[in-house]
Structure 1
Amino acid sequence: MSFNKFLPVVALLLVASLPAMALPQDSNQPIRIQANSATLDERRNTAVYRGNVIITQGSMRLTGNQVTLATDSAGAVSKITSTGNPATYTQTPGENDGEVNARAQTIEYFADSERVVLIDQARLEQRGNTFQGDFVSYDINEQVVDAGRPAAGDSGEPGRIEIVIQPRQRDEAANP
């Protein structure tokens, strides 16, 4: 079997090792990857998808012009980086939670900490609440947003952020 025929199977196995990122049923859903091309580099443990890339699994949808999946030594996905104009991410974090919609020029997903980092023209929205700036980090499990701090090693000053928080109804439970 030629390497090119083997590539889609191996790439799907890489993505299938993603941990459950939100709704419990998401991890049981099939993973679909659409792209114009794919390259697998076994020595670097990466798979690169190019051209209008769309990755879906359950409620999760990640898009970009180029998506790179990096795996650890055990073959589990450790990091996904999506670049686009913009790259987008949507997912429903839990049964009673509103959908999270995010976009940025670069989106990084860290599997071990289940954290999404939005870089450059970042915007994250859930239930009408928005966070905008040059850098936004979202902890999926804890549902914690951190906006305005530069990434580690970035010595530049972050730009200003804008946050819009919708008023709660008096009978509505406190839920970020």
Structure 2
Amino acid sequence: MAAAQGTDVSFGALKQDTLAPVEITADQLSVDQKDGSAVFRGNVLIGQGQMRLSAGEVRVEYAEGDGATTGQIERLIASGGVTLATATEAAEAQNADYTIESGKIVMTGDVILTQGQNALSSQRLVVDLKSGTGQMDGRVKTILNPGSQ
């Protein structure tokens, strides 16, 4: 097992169009008109392009003010055990904060990333969906499987 303070990782399968429609399903929905938010609870599943994000709870914050499109999603804040997955990669953490415009997802709390047979863990992972790259910080550990002997 190798350990490091921080490391860059490739997220080729997570590179995607952050302007694609966002589909959300959950057991329950609460809307707060005062602060312009919605909270989805229970078996929350979010789909955007090829990306899937699941969590126990997701707070959706909508853009407001000048130049903001009515109903435009600004941020998704997920908690309660979060999984971010594509067909070939998966990341798990306690929490995630996805800012739609920047295309960045910040995952925190016992992060585990699997890419094929390789696994990495840390306390924080920042994924840039527009470039398909990521940065892991906070005592990064990895297990590399070079193949059979």
Q: TM-score range by the shorter chain?
A: 0.7 to 0.9
Unaligned segments of structure 1, at least 5 residues = 1-20, 93-98, 149-157, 169-176
Give the TM-score normalised by structure 2: 0.72
CA distance in 2, matches of 1:112, 1:105: 23
Show the counterpart of 1:154: none
Show the counterpart of 2:101: 112
Q: Contact (CA 8 Å) 1:22, 1:91: kept in 2 or not? A: no
Which one scores higher on RCO, CA 8 angstroms, separation ≥ 6? 2
Unaligned segments of structure 2, at least 5 residues = 1-13
More helix by share: 1
Show the counterpart of 2:11: none
Q: Give deviations 1:62-120, integer Å, cap 9, x for gaps.
A: 11111111111123211111112x2111136xxxxxx3311101011111211111100
Kindly indicate whether residue 52 of structure 2 is the aligned counterpart of residue 61 of structure 1.
yes
How far 1:23 moved relative to its partner?
Answer: 4.6
Specify the code of the residue in structure 2 equivalent to 1:37. Q
CA distance in 2, matches of 1:33, 1:140: 18
The number of residue pairs the alignment matches comes to 128
Give the alignment of 1:1-40 within 5 angstroms.
Answer: 22-23=15-16, 27=20, 31-40=22-31
Q: Contact (CA 8 Å) 2:15, 2:131: kept in 1 or not? A: no
Which residue of the other structure, out of 117, 120, 125, is the alignment partner of 2:114? 125
Larger radius of gyration: 1
Decide whether aligned partners of structure 1 residues 164 and 115 sit closer, same or farther in structure 2, where only a CA change above 3 A counts.
farther
How far 1:141 moved relative to its partner?
Answer: 2.0
CA distance in 1, matches of 2:133, 2:72: 25
Kindly indicate whether residue 86 of structure 2 is the aligned counterpart of residue 91 of structure 1.
yes
Q: Give deviations 1:28-71, integer Å, cap 9, x for gaps.
A: 6xx54322210111221211001111122442211111111111
Q: Give deviations 1:117-160, integer Å, cap 9, x for gaps.
A: 11001122234443311111111222222111xxxxxxxxx4x2
Give the TM-score normalised by structure 1: 0.62
